[in-house]
């Protein structure tokens, strides 16, 4: 007999313990309970990492180390709202720096590229058909985000780690979030209110009409209010020239949607983690239309709704850091097994039919970096990585 998996908050209210140190309090609503659970999991994960890193420090002192990642050099990725104003300013300055550096992309392949930042958008457009709804989604985006973080640090003297946007903190109203409050130390605001109808979004064999949100126009406030983006769109109509690679200067627009943000509640994150027993089920649910990944993209709207050119919007990187953070939490529930699981094929929705992803699968990154083996990128403290979420 197949048993139905109950939502976390219902299991909790029925008295089913899920390894949480919190006692039930009837005054707490399901979202608060779920938030407490997520905080507990993050704390447990960081304790696990601390033990590993401390052991590595001892190995370094004893000259028996097998990795360069230790407690002394690990990079911490913080939630945007927990960062100091100075730290947010430094990050924003580094992003703007990248937007003012010359591109490395070939003019023949990406004639619209005008900045180093455009190099990253171009590569996401290029590889979109293999890095979504496939066995490469999580690992490819982990390395892609790390390459972006590395560019900020190496090319724009940024000292911190890539921040993340915790969707669960202000899922009910993005405008209340320090991420989107439009202050000089935010990632901008909603777009200007422009009455409009449904938005046609066509990507990877699927077409949908997105209901209008609460904005629709150019970002009006914050450090990216006057930002000009150059590439795309691809999934949104009318599409840009040269399949999104041509020069198409325009403002960055957003269209906040409560309909989509409602899918990124604390209970949604906990249900994903507790209800997924293998990497395939985890990824399928995460990438589902009503899943957490889509919630972040369609909840912000505008270019974030373009599955190809979404990294045109600087919030992309904070969103995908949160996706990566949720994956690390899921991995930590069985750390000897889950990091090494693979699933799905190497094309979106297996179209065209392709081989299964394995730990030996090689993933391309174009001009951003050398091809990488999937199995080398499954841990945030191994391979090229040395970072953790706090």
CATH number of residue 90's parent domain: 1.10.1280.10
**Is a pLDDT exceeding 80 seen at residue 301?**
yes
In a domain, 36, yes or no: no
% of residues, the chain, pLDDT over 70: 91
In a domain, 42, yes or no: no
In a domain, 120, yes or no: yes
Which is more confidently placed, 253 or 12?
Answer: 253
Distance, CA of 290 to CA of 259 (rounded, Å): 10
Averaged pLDDT for residues 41-68: 81
Domain enclosing residue 110, as ranges: 76-389
Instruction: Compute how many other C-beta atoms are within 10 angstroms of the C-beta atom of residue 25.
Output: 9
Distance of CA 93 to the CA centre of its chain: 20
Q: Which residues contact 187 (CB under 8 A, 6 or more apart)?
A: 80, 92, 165, 179, 180, 222, 223, 224, 314, 315, 318
In a domain, 30, yes or no: no
In a domain, 2, yes or no: no
Handedness of CA 262, 265, 269, 275 (dihedral sign): negative
**Is a pLDDT exceeding 50 seen at residue 15?**
no
In a domain, 23, yes or no: no
In a domain, 149, yes or no: yes
**CB of 231 within 8 A of CB of 112?**
yes
**Is a pLDDT exceeding 60 seen at residue 382?**
yes
**Is a pLDDT exceeding 60 seen at residue 67?**
yes
Q: What is the pLDDT of residue 58?
A: 80
Query: Of the ranges 3-12, 156-165, 196-205, which is most confident?
Result: 156-165
Q: What is the pLDDT of residue 61?
A: 61
Averaged pLDDT for residues 222-247: 96
Distance, CA of 184 to CA of 88 (rounded, Å): 9
Q: What is the pLDDT of residue 9?
A: 36
Based on the structure, what is the number of domains in the chain? 1
In a domain, 11, yes or no: no
**Is a pLDDT exceeding 80 seen at residue 271?**
yes
């Amino acid at each position: 007999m197949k048993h139905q998996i109950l939502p976390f908050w219902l299991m909790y209210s029925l008295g089913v313990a899920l390894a949480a140190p919190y006692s039930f309090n009837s005054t707490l609503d399901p979202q608060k309970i779920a938030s407490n659970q997520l905080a507990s999991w993050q704390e447990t994960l960081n304790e696990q990492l601390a033990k590993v890193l401390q052991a590595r420090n001892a190995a370094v002192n004893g000259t028996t180390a097998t990795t360069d990642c230790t407690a002394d050099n690990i990079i911490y990725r913080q939630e945007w709202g927990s960062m100091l104003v100075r730290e947010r300013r430094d990050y924003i300055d580094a992003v703007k720096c990248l937007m003012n550096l010359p591109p490395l992309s070939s003019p023949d392949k990406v004639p619209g590229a005008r900045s180093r930042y455009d190099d990253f958008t171009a590569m996401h457009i290029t590889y979109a058909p293999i890095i979504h709804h496939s066995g490469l989604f999580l690992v490819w985006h982990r390395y892609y985000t790390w390459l972006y973080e590395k560019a900020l640090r190496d090319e724009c003297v940024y000292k911190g780690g890539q921040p993340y946007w915790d969707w669960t903190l202000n899922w009910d109203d993005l405008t209340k979030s320090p991420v989107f409050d439009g202050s000089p130390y935010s990632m901008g605001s909603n777009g200007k209110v422009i009455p409009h109808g449904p938005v046609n979004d066509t990507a990877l064999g699927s077409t949908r009409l997105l209901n209008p949100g609460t904005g629709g126009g150019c970002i009006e406030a914050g450090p990216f209010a006057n930002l000009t983006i150059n590439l795309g769109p691809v999934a949104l109509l009318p599409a840009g020239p040269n399949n999104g690679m041509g020069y198409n200067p325009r403002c960055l627009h957003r269209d906040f949607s409560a309909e989509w943000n409602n899918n990124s509640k604390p209970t949604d994150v906990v249900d994903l983690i507790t209800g997924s027993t293998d990497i395939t089920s985890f990824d399928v649910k995460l990438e589902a239309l009503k899943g957490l990944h889509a919630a972040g993209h369609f909840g912000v709207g505008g270019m974030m709704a373009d599955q190809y050119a979404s990294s045109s919007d600087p919030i992309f990187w904070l969103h995908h850091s949160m996706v990566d953070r949720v994956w690390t939490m899921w991995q930590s529930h069985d750390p000897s097994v889950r990091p090494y699981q693979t699933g799905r094929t190497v094309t979106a929705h297996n179209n065209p039919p392709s081989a299964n992803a394995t730990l030996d699968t090689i993933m391309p990154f174009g001009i951003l970096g050398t091809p990488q083996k999937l199995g080398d990128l499954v841990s945030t403290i191994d391979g090229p990585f040395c970072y953790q979420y706090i």
